[in-house]
Amino acid sequence: MRRQARSPRPYATLRARKRPIRPDTSSSSTAASRPRRRSLPGMNVAPADLHYPFAPPEFGEVVAIAPGLLWTRLALPFALDHLNVFILDDGDGWTVVDCGAATAETEAAWRKLLDGPLAGRPVSRLVATHGHTDHVGFAGPLTALLDAPFLSSRSEWTSAVIRRLETVEGLRGPAGRFYESHGCPDALVEGFLAERARSASLIAEMPPAFVRIAEGDVLAFGGRRWRVMIFGGHAQEHCVFWSESDRIMIAGDQILPRITPQIGVNYSEPEADPLTEFLASLRVLGSFDEDVLVLPGHGLPYRGPGIRARQLEAHHASRLAAIATACDGEPTTFDVAIRLFPQAMRKAHARFAVAETLAHLNHLVGTGRLARSRAADGRIRFRPSR
Ligand SMILES: [Zn+2]
C-alpha cells in the first residue's frame, strides 16, 4: 500500500517566525501575557478573560498539549495568518484534524512534519472540522499522498467540492447580482468576487470519497473516545469533537478565542439565518464546565467555554440592537454596514462585514423585528416591523 510516498522535490524553506507570546500560567490573562492580536478589524470582541495554558508552536513544529495529542500550526495566506492542526497518536499511526489551504507552503510544512515528528508511522485518517478553505484546502493532495481516508460531515464535504469550482466569471452573475441587490457599489463588488474566487482556488481537488461523520457519533482516535456534535452558524455542519474522559474539545472555528467566527450570508442562500443556529450552538457549548480545554482552529487553546460563549452572545446581542436601530429610513445591507462598521468597511474585510451585517438583518427579520422588501430599483431594504 502506498503510504507517505516521498516527493523528489526539495522542501521549501520554512519561514522563521518570532514566537509572539509567553505561556500564560495565571488563572486569568494579564496584559503582558495576552497573545498579540491578529484578529479581523471590526470583528473583535472584548479581550477574553480566558486561561491560555500553552504557547504556540512555530510553523511546522509541534507542541504536546496532552498525552498523545500534538498541536502544530500552518501558515495561511490570509489576514488570519495561521491554522491550528491537531495530531493524535493512535499507537500504530496518527489521526490528523484539519490540514490547511492548498499552497506550496502548506505542502512543504506537511513534508517536514511527515519526515520529522510523525516519521515512522502512517497517518490513519484525516478528519475535517468543516469544509472551509483554510481547513480542507489541502485535503485532496494530503489524503492521496498518505492513502488515508477523509472523515467529514456530509454538507462540509459537498460544500467544499462545490466551492472550489467558483471563479470570478462564474460568480459575476449570481454573486454580482446579490451584492448589487444589497446596495454594494460596483467598484467593491469586483473586489469581492476576486477575493472569493481566490479563496476557492486555494481548495485543491477534494478527496473523491469521504467517511461521513454525523451528530452523536463516537469516534475513537488518539487513545480517546470523541463524541461528535454538529452545529450550524459558521458552516452548515461544523463538527466539534468532545472527549469527556480528558475534558478536551476540538472545536474548529465554532467557538474561537478573541475573534468571532464569521457568521455570514452569501449569494447562494440570501435569506439564510445562520445567526439563529450559531446562538443555539453557544447555548450548548456554553454549558460545558470552565475547566474544559478548548482546541480552536485559530488562536490559542483556552479554558473557559462558558465565559467565551457568553462573550460571543453579548457581542451578537449588541450588534443586533445597533443594527435594529439603524433601520429607520429603509437602508440596504450596505448602508447599514457602512454606517455601523466604517472601519471594517474601509479595510480588506468589507466582504465579511457585508455578509455579517446581512446575517444580523436576516435574524432580525426571522425574529419579527424587521421587515425585508425589494424596492422598485431592485434593492433589498429593511425597515422596522409595524
Ligand atoms: Zn478557519
CATH code where residue 164 lies: 3.60.15.10
* Cell numbers placing 94: 496518527
CA of 98 to the centre of ligand 1 (A): 10
Q: Which residue has the higher pLDDT, 218 or 14?
A: 218
pLDDT, tens only, 64-76: 999 999 999 999 9
CA of 203 to the centre of ligand 1 (A): 13
- Res 40: pLDDT: 37
Q: Which helix or strand (DSSP H or E) is residue 306 part of?
A: helix 305-325
- Res 66: pLDDT: 96
CA of 130 to the centre of ligand 1 (A): 8
Per-residue confidence at 349, pLDDT binned at 50, 70, 90?
confident
DSSP E strand boundaries for the chain? 62-66, 69-75, 82-89, 94-97, 123-127, 150-152, 211-212, 218-221, 224-231, 238-243, 248-252, 293-296, 302-303, 370-374, 380-384
CA–CA separation, 139 vs 133, rounded Å? 10
How many domains in the chain? 1
- Res 37: pLDDT: 35
CA of 329 to the centre of ligand 1 (A): 36
Is 3 within the bounds of a domain?
no
CA of 75 to the centre of ligand 1 (A): 12
Average pLDDT, the chain: 88
DSSP E strand boundaries for 167-247? 211-212, 218-221, 224-231, 238-243
CA of 261 to the centre of ligand 1 (A): 8
- Res 373: pLDDT: 97
CA of 153 to the centre of ligand 1 (A): 16
For residue 171, pLDDT beyond 50: yes
Per-residue confidence at 10, pLDDT binned at 50, 70, 90?
very low
Is 187 within the bounds of a domain?
yes
For residue 35, pLDDT beyond 90: no
pLDDT, tens only, 300-333: 999 999 999 999 999 999 999 999 999 999 999 9
CA of 134 to the centre of ligand 1 (A): 5
For residue 24, pLDDT beyond 80: no
Per-residue confidence at 204, pLDDT binned at 50, 70, 90?
very high
Is 367 within the bounds of a domain?
no
Is 291 within the bounds of a domain?
yes
Domain encompassing residue 308: 62-325
* Cell numbers placing 91: 499507537
For residues 26 and 50, is the Cβ–Cβ distance under 8 A? no
Amino acid residing at 153? S
- Res 7: pLDDT: 35
Is 34 within the bounds of a domain?
no
Q: Which helix or strand (DSSP H or E) is residue 197 part of?
A: helix 186-201
CA of 195 to the centre of ligand 1 (A): 16
Per-residue confidence at 343, pLDDT binned at 50, 70, 90?
confident
- Res 386: pLDDT: 77
For residue 126, pLDDT beyond 60: yes
Per-residue confidence at 59, pLDDT binned at 50, 70, 90?
confident
Is 340 within the bounds of a domain?
no
Is 312 within the bounds of a domain?
yes
Stated pTM of the model:
0.87
**Which residue's C-alpha cell is 493532495?**
141
For residue 250, pLDDT beyond 90: yes
- Res 135: pLDDT: 98
- Res 211: pLDDT: 98
- Res 89: pLDDT: 97
pLDDT above 70 coverage of the chain, percent: 88
Is 334 within the bounds of a domain?
no
Q: Single out the residue of 180, 352, 170 nearest to residue 261, CA to CA.
A: 352
- Res 342: pLDDT: 86
